[in-house]
Amino acid sequence: MCGIVGYIGNKQVLPILIQGLRRLEYRGYDSAGVAILDNSKQTAVNRVRSVGKIDNLADKVKTEKMEGTVGIAHTRWATHGGVTEENAHPHFGCDEKLVIAHNGIIENYRELKEVLEKDHTFTSQTDTEILAHLIETHYKGDLRMAVETALSHVRGTYGLVVLHADHPGTIIAARLGSPLVIGIGEDEHFVASDATPMLAYTKKVVFLDDGEIAEIHKDGFVTYDLKDKIITKHVEEIEWDDEQAQKQGYDHFMLKEIFDQPTVFEDAIRGRYDIDEGTAHLGGLNMNDEEMRRVNRIVLIACGTASYAAMVGKYAFERLAGIPTEVDVASEFRYRDPIIDSNTLVFAISQSGETLDTLAAVREAKRKGAFVRGIVNVVGSTIARETDGGTYIHAGPELAVASTKAYTNMVAIMVLYAIQFGRLKRITLATGQRLINALLEIPEKMNLVFEQNENIKKLAEKYKNYRDFLFLGRGINYPVALEGSLKLKEISYIHSEAYPGGEMKHGPIALLSKDFPVFAIMVKDQLYDKMRSNIEEIRARKAPIILVATQGDERAKELAEDIIYVPDTMELLEPLLNTIPLQLFAYHVAVMLGRDVDRPRNLAKSVTVE
């Protein structure tokens, strides 16, 4: 859950590292640090660390003389030890020649520390510092061998980079469980937790796999396994450009990403549907028609927003393909001895592709013999590589911690899969075609939802000071309510809950009062009348109501004065539109309350701890 960046080449490294850390700040942002090999005295490493955001570090390094063309840096999300400068990375060994930055958790750090403490002095409470001293212990002049030997004593996960003053032309990188990417430039190389820090310099990358260790120089690198065997790596070309990773004039990444949705939705479905056959073709499934027909159960595993996208997917799979579908929160799935057989198809859904709970659930499902496919955004991420196939959602870089466009594209891909299965199992050509035509209209309809932005902003102004919210939806709009509630709480820190409309009378109705607003999705679908009755019950308790209603529904005005109108679409596709006003509402409330929208407190973008 931390970000690492390293550089070796001919350029001054400090600006590259600071800029790289800014790109990785979404991975953790409680403290940061840089370590640079001093060009004037090749035997010294200069290090600066600071608590707080990268801006603090950037201010601090201005007063330091940090010249050099080789360095590593780190942005931290604390796991072992509090948020202090001493605990910030990079960490030195005893003689301050060896320095390390690490992402992951060393599980046996206590045992290792007990042994090392006899001869080494520790200055932090981190598990990472143990690695620095352990490598130092094994260092006999060959840095890679020292890292390799040290890692053989370690239990846990790591993505790490190591520098040593005696080896000014080398960075060692190793990976087990936490991602690392090497970027290949002209006479320069990069290494980082993902490709964003290097995109301004190169698009050529190599993804390290678990159990690999790389010796990186400015003019090349060699990768080994932990038994010293050289591994040939495949160089990949990254499609995202640096520009895409910027805010493009929006105040926050989250707002940009909300407004990205029509475009990236088109990217998600492009080339993946066949209007003549009324079906979809998602090649990554790696199954022939016969194998697909044999699937008699689908399990969708995911966390957070991805799990709400999965709940929408459940409706699509059951309604279109008639395949019983379960949604399992990954952290629960892995520990409850799930029932899986060879006719069960498991999808792991993840924006980052690095969520540890989801990854562990993937491994558990595979162990039980399931086909596991990924529905993932980040190309080359661990889940993408460990699944037996799957589909990239093509949402582009999602840098705001709160997920928005990835959710939409996850839903899009699951609907396409459901159409593909459905056409083999039960839906007609005409239904398939109707669905695809409706999908093709979605980007335009999303733009119509954006026309409500000013209205939503006014509602945010009106409601921003309430302390509690209830979100309600029924059927396919229940996951929409869950997602709206999650968005509001995670970025505005306002308490909110979400319930299916019909559940309200079984408890939550007791909460309602004039101080407890209800955000309800009441669109024109088969549950419209049921939802209307629920809203009447809320009105009777005098709770303020904000409605998401279908364009043209004049009767909605009898129930509430605050209405956000959305275009009509097929019921299965409603979440693709109805979630957007909730994203915008949460965004505006958070901005008005002065919250750090893109980096809300206590959260991180990529949750690589359990």
Identify each DSSP E strand in 383-467 by its residue range.
Answer: 390-392
Q: In whole angstroms, how close is the CB of 255 to ligand F6R at the nearest point?
A: 14
Q: Helix or strand or coil: residue 403?
A: coil
Q: In whole angstroms, how close is the CB of 349 to ligand F6R at the nearest point?
A: 7
Instruction: Please say which residue, 27 or 49, places its beta carbon nearer to ligand F6R.
Output: 27
Instruction: Please say which residue, 245 or 486, places its beta carbon nearer to ligand F6R.
Output: 486
The CA-atom distances, in angstroms, between 257 and each of 252, 392, 548 are 9, 17, 21
Q: Helix or strand or coil: residue 285?
A: helix
Q: In whole angstroms, how close is the CB of 397 to ligand F6R at the nearest point?
A: 12
Instruction: Please say which residue, 331 or 569, places its beta carbon nearer to ligand F6R.
Output: 331
Instruction: Please say which residue, 57 or 105, places its beta carbon nearer to ligand F6R.
Output: 105
The CA-atom distances, in angstroms, between 81 and each of 129, 142, 155, 302, 360 are 11, 31, 18, 29, 25
* Sequential DSSP letters for 351-383: SSS--HHHHHHHHHHHHTT-EEEEEESSTT-HH
Q: Helix or strand or coil: residue 251?
A: coil
Identify each DSSP E strand in 248-296 by its residue range.
Answer: 273-274, 279-280
Asked if residues 74 and 33 have their Cβ atoms less than 8 Å apart, the reply is yes
Query: Residue type at 304?
Result: G
Asked if residues 349 and 303 have their Cβ atoms less than 8 Å apart, the reply is no
By CB atoms closer than 10 A (0-12, 13-18, 19+), residue 327 is buried
Identify each DSSP E strand in 148-259 by its residue range.
Answer: 158-164, 171-176, 181-184, 189-192, 204-207, 212-217, 220-225, 230-231, 236-237
Residue the block writes with tokens 């993932």 = 376
Instruction: Please say which residue, 350 or 453, places its beta carbon nearer to ligand F6R.
Output: 350
Which residues bind to ligand F6R, rule: CB under 6 A? 303-306, 350-352, 355, 358, 402-403, 486, 490, 607
Q: Is the peptide bond before 90 cis (omega within 30 degrees of 0)?
A: yes
Pairing of strands 220-225, 212-217: antiparallel
55 closest CA partner among 83, 11, 19: 19
* Sequential DSSP letters for 13-30: HHHHHHHHHHHHGGG--S
Q: In whole angstroms, how close is the CB of 447 to ligand F6R at the nearest point?
A: 23
Distance CA 346, CA 298 (A): 6
Set 97, 405, 487, 605: catalytic member: 605
Instruction: Please say which residue, 47 or 314, places its beta carbon nearer to ligand F6R.
Output: 314
Closest residue to ligand F6R: CB criterion: 304
Q: Which residues contact 37 (CB under 8 A, 6 or more apart)?
A: 44, 45, 46, 68, 69, 70, 71, 163, 165, 168
Q: Helix or strand or coil: residue 405?
A: helix
Bridge partner residues of 349 (DSSP)? 375
Instruction: Please say which residue, 493 or 528, places its beta carbon nearer to ligand F6R.
Output: 493
* Sequential DSSP letters for 81-122: S-SSTTTSSPEE-TTSSEEEEEES-BTTHHHHHHHHTTT---
Residue the block writes with tokens 């080359």 = 380
Instruction: Please say which residue, 445 or 605, places its beta carbon nearer to ligand F6R.
Output: 605
Distance CA 171, CA 8 (A): 7
Residue the block writes with tokens 């009105």 = 539
Q: In whole angstroms, how close is the CB of 393 to ligand F6R at the nearest point?
A: 10
Q: In whole angstroms, how close is the CB of 82 to ligand F6R at the nearest point?
A: 23
Residue the block writes with tokens 């990236």 = 264
∠ CA 232-233-234, nearest 5°, is 130
Q: In whole angstroms, how close is the CB of 306 to ligand F6R at the nearest point?
A: 4
**Active site (annotated) includes residue 605:** yes
Query: Residue type at 564?
Result: I
Instruction: Please say which residue, 136 or 483, places its beta carbon nearer to ligand F6R.
Output: 483
Q: In whole angstroms, how close is the CB of 261 to ligand F6R at the nearest point?
A: 14
Around Cβ 40, how many Cβ atoms within 10 Å?
8
Q: In whole angstroms, how close is the CB of 10 to ligand F6R at the nearest point?
A: 36
Instruction: Please say which residue, 340 or 399, places its beta carbon nearer to ligand F6R.
Output: 399
Q: In whole angstroms, how close is the CB of 308 to ligand F6R at the nearest point?
A: 8
Set 2, 218, 256, 314: catalytic member: 2
Instruction: Please say which residue, 257 or 553, places its beta carbon nearer to ligand F6R.
Output: 257
Q: In whole angstroms, how close is the CB of 492 to ligand F6R at the nearest point?
A: 12
Q: What residues are annotated to the active site?
A: 2, 605
